[in-house]
Amino acid sequence: LPLNGAARDEEDSMDLVQHYLEDYYNLAKDAKQFAKRKDSSPVVKKIQEMQKFLGLKVTGKLDSDTLQVMRKPRCGVPDLGE
């Protein structure tokens, strides 16, 4: 069934974040269901790492400022090395 608007937006954001963290912050590809996990999850830590690197407020949460920066065009080289 088609998702309603709000649910679709949220799902799109989750996809964006997952791919963003995988592509630029070396998040393991099998880190699923990341949005529902506790603060200690590797995904939350990656979000915090990304927020710190991009000069955003470090919350570990996907606030609107964070999503806004992630939607901006950028260079494809990962931000952090292995």
**Positions in the binding site for other proteins (CB under 8 A):** 24, 52-55, 69, 72-77, 79, 81-82
Distance of CA 46 to the CA centre of its chain: 8
The DSSP call for residue 65 is H
- The smaller minimum CB distance to other proteins, of residues 15 and 37, is found at 15
* H or E segment and range at residue 61: none
As measured in angstroms, the least distance from the Cβ of 1 to other proteins is 27
As measured in angstroms, the least distance from the Cβ of 70 to other proteins is 9
As measured in angstroms, the least distance from the Cβ of 36 to other proteins is 25
Neighbouring CB atoms inside 10 A of 34's CB total 18
